[in-house]
Chain A
Amino acid sequence: MPFWKYALTPILAMGLFSPVLASPAQNLFDQATFIIGFNYNGPIKLGSFRDLRKKYQPQLDQACTGLGEQCGYVQAKGVIQNILQTINDPFTLLVSSAELEDDDRFGSGLGPVAPRIGVWAKETSKGLVVTEAFLSEPAYKAGIRRGDVIAQIAGQPATLARLKEAEASPKAVSVQVLRQGESRELSLTPQAADESMQPKLEVVGTTAILRVYHFYSSREFSTARQIQQLVAQAEQKGAKGLVLDLRDALTGFDTEALLAAGVFMPKVGFIYQSRFQGQSSSQRVENGRYFEKPENQEEREARNQSLPKAFLSKLPLVVLVNHNTINSAEMLAYFLQSGGRAKVVGEPTAGALGVSGGAEGPLLSGDFLAVSSLRLQQLDGTLFPMRLTPDVQISDDPEALAAGHDLVLDRALELLKGGL
């Protein structure tokens, strides 16, 4: 009796043509581990996607205990985050489709889609120190400037979390703003930003300060082209030295960073090293023209990348960076530093200098995965470091900024005055 019962099992199993339904968690895990394991080409030894699956499947099984086929994307995402934490590279991340939508908007010269008051700020014991108030956004229009302190939001001590909460509501919010001891009450209504976060030029005496916030572009808009135009403007206005401020700058397209470097250097380039045969390429810019040479192919000009005009600036140059300066922004600073074109002042950068890649997906959960699938090299084959080390190391000091002193900028101005 037990005999045929056992015998029946394999026969049934063979008859099952359609694969057994896996849980959503298992599917997402299988997809993400492949995308990471197959594409990752960053500095750590990760092993193949098979190794990854072998190593992390037990974690998934544990997270799914008792859930069976109902085990969902949330459980798998937890395990994926663990994998990403092991990789510990600020480039290799889960990216939501909303974030990608914002990147798209940045590329068109617009601000993010969600309403906001339009500041970048650092949390301190005295409140939020504004490091940037974006032109044309509510905070700037109400008179808030870099160095101001948002002390209270709706009567409560100001924190980043509280600001985010206030921005999520369409209603006006009252904020208390301090400027060197003087207090003001302002009412701000969060708004979705139209044109915003485009490079900004300020010329004080013979010094120009150029702030760049990201390196995205589209058919209608190019960060690099704006940088080129603003640097030319600075020269026309009589600037004798330039500070390029990349502190807190987001990433964007490496092509834009390279074109921006080409505003200051007659020739500049790098190599994308892929882990797959035939997929590497070298990229270079000369006189505003963008050239690409895929492995085993002829070099060709990428005309849709090239800037419409050539312009080379010989102004003495200092670049400012901090620990948030990431990826394409780090690359621009590094092109200028390693080419001997600029001194870099500030903090060691975010640590995604030597890698790149695209957003892979969509995953089943609707998210995307950015994976360090390309390693960057100098044209002579030297690997880029993962992090840029400034020539002059000095930390941002939000409290000094609130007191009216930008110590990092001051140091840069001294360098320019001293003829570098």
Chain B
Amino acid sequence: MRKLLITLALMVGSFSLASPAQDLFDQASFYLEFYYNGFSTVNVKDLGSRYQQKLEQTCASAGENCTYDQAVPLIESMIEEIGDGHTYYQSPVDLSRSDQSRQGEQPSKVLRVGLSHQAVSGSHDRLVMDVVEDSPASEAGILYGDRIVAVNGRLLESFSSDADAQKFLSEQVQSGNPVTFTIVRGTERQKLDIRMVPREINEVRLPSLRYLPGDVAVIHIPEFFPEGVVGERVHRLVSQAKEHGSKSMILDLRGNPGGSAMEALISMAAFMDNPTVIFTDRYSSQRTEYIIIGSKGSIRNAKGDTLTRFNLPFASRWTSPLAILVDEGSASGAEYLASALQQAGIGKVIGQPTFGIGNTTTRTFDLINGGGLNISFNRAFFAGGKPYPEQVKPDILSKLDLDILANQGRDVVIEQALQILKGQSMANTVAPLQPNALMFSAIN
């Protein structure tokens, strides 16, 4: 008799629990509660109980047919309460896209010329903020800071709103026909017609190198996602810049959202000796130390056993003056790199305080709906045991002025970096010049 009662109770118990929504929620809340190792002060356990109640309300009518999709918004707002940029949900589509970018293959699926642009205040023109490497735009020579004033002969000013201008631009790119942008460039406000054939592009971003007058090289690292690619390319670009005879360098990490910690580490080795990151998990069961010495890297566990060795046959090393640019969009791997260089006293960091997730790494847990839950899993430390800072605070604060960029073709942050580099390379021989004069002469 008693036995029967127990059986019934168990059955009722498992009936009320079994729905796809509940399964997905259970999985997500367990992973969060068990593995979260970030710095949020939110009590994750309480959070889980609170959202369990919300889930029960949401699923009240659907019962055991309550779907994965009904649980997802609750999981997302639960995670939002944690307020940690390294802890986030990815839909199945997002997850497969980030897998693609890790593998270095992220087809755009639509026709693109390969640039991102934004509004210019007081005008419907568009300002080029970013150009994808190996895209029609980069091949045609479009540059960051170019101002698009017309598309296929039609002035963007002639539209009644930014939205209409943007829509027209997109339609022309999507038409599949060649498209001509009229742009205004640089401090001389040179006007150029640039013809491009839109195509499907690889949206994975790679480091690039350009030169500014005064023997200055600029290496731009837009992200650290493509594994086995980014770090090596940074070293190769450094060695190119050296061969080119560059005397100083700007490392532009603005807007870099991060990616692979390994690629960030390999990139560090192009600028400093013995870069090291030590990762600890919440239970200290998987403490690992990543270190590169010369052209040899290794990953060691807590006992000091080497788990993996890797070689950097491409290793190159920049030893001349360096300025590092960051902004509020520089996150994760970009923060690791900037912090390591700042900590080692290599180069000045210029720009805005960074996004603020430079002391953890995220790990992706696969969910039963095909999506992924990314959780702050590791905390990061320097070789001596000092933690990586959450946020990089620039040595010199400098903010991009979009109006100056759009109207005069001048990036004031780059100008400030040039000024500092010039000061460094001439510090021993020449007295500093007037700042204003420098700012103008530097950009030409």
Question: Which chain A residues have a beta carbon within 8 Å of chain B's beta carbons?
Answer: 17-19, 24, 27, 30-31, 34, 38, 45, 47-51, 275-279, 362, 364-366
Contacts and interface: CB of A to CB of B under 8 A. Distances in A.
Interface in B271-287: 283, 285-286
Contacts of A31: 34
Contacts of B43: 17, 19
B369 A34 contact: no
B50 interface: no
Interface in B281-311: 283, 285-286
Interface stretch (B13-21, B144-152, B179-187, B384-392): B13-21
B10 interface: yes
A47 B370 contact: no
Contact of A51 (B13, B34, B67, B370): B13
A50 B369 CA distance: 21
A51 B368 contact: no
Nearest to A30: B34
Contact of B285 (A277, A278, A279, A364): A364
Contact of A47 (B10, B41, B68, B369): B10
A17 B370 contact: no
Contacts of B368: 276-279
Given A31-B34, A278-B370, A38 B10 contact: no
A45 B17 CA distance: 14
Q: Secondary structure of the B side of the interface?
A: helix
A279 B68 CA distance: 12
A277 to B, nearest CB: 4
B13 A48 contact: yes
Contacts of B23: 38, 275-277
Contacts of A18: 41
A38 B26 contact: yes
Contact of B17 (A30, A48, A364): A48
Chain B: interface size category: 20 to 34
Given A17-B41, A19-B45, A366-B285, A277 B10 contact: no
Contacts of B10: 45, 47, 51
A149 to B, nearest CB: 42
Given A34-B30, A38-B30, A47 B283 contact: no
Interface of B: 10, 13-14, 17-18, 20, 23, 26-27, 30, 34, 41, 43, 45, 67-68, 283, 285-286, 368-370
Contacts of A276: 20, 23, 368
23 contacts: A17-B41, A17-B43, A19-B43, A24-B283, A27-B34, A27-B283, A31-B34, A34-B34, A38-B23, A38-B26, A47-B10, A48-B18, A51-B10, A51-B13, A276-B20, A276-B23, A277-B23, A277-B67, A278-B68, A278-B370, A279-B368, A364-B283, A365-B285
A366 B67 CA distance: 34
Contacts of B26: 38, 48-49
A144 B234 CA distance: 59
Contacts of B18: 48
A365 B30 CA distance: 18
B103 to A, nearest CB: 16
Contacts of A45: 10
A47 B27 contact: no
A18 B27 CA distance: 22
A30 B34 CA distance: 8
Nearest to B30: A34
Given A17-B43, A38-B26, A49-B26, A277 B68 contact: yes
Across the A-B interface, give the 7 residue pairs with the lowest CB-CB distance, nearest first. A276-B368, A277-B20, A17-B41, A364-B285, A34-B30, A364-B283, A48-B17
A410 to B, nearest CB: 49
Contacts of B370: 278
A17 B39 CA distance: 11
A19 B37 CA distance: 12
A213 B131 CA distance: 57
Contacts of B30: 34, 38, 49
B299 to A, nearest CB: 16
Given A51-B10, A278-B68, A365-B285, 10 more contacts: A19-B43, A38-B23, A38-B30, A48-B13, A48-B26, A49-B26, A275-B23, A277-B23, A278-B20, A366-B285
A364 B23 CA distance: 23
A51 B14 contact: yes
B27 A38 contact: yes
B51 to A, nearest CB: 15
Contacts of B27: 38
B20 to A, nearest CB: 4
Nearest to B68: A277
A27 B284 CA distance: 12
Nearest to A22: B283
Nearest to A274: B368
A31 B34 CA distance: 8
A175 to B, nearest CB: 35
A278 B369 contact: yes
A17 B30 CA distance: 19
A104 to B, nearest CB: 15
A38 B367 CA distance: 12
A374 B43 CA distance: 34
A47 B34 contact: no
Contacts of A47: 10, 13-14
A403 B285 CA distance: 52
Contacts of A24: 283
Contacts of A278: 20, 68, 368-370
Contacts of A50: 17
A9 B17 CA distance: 35
A57 to B, nearest CB: 16
Nearest to A27: B283
Contacts of B369: 278
A275 B10 CA distance: 18
A333 to B, nearest CB: 32
Contacts of B34: 27, 30-31, 34
Nearest to B281: A364
A277 B367 CA distance: 12
Contacts of A48: 13-14, 17-18, 26
B13, B43, B68, B285, most chain A CB atoms within 10 A: B285
A140 to B, nearest CB: 33
Nearest to A18: B41
A98 to B, nearest CB: 14
Contacts of B67: 277
A47 B10 CA distance: 7
A20 to B, nearest CB: 10
A149 B284 CA distance: 49
A47 B68 CA distance: 21
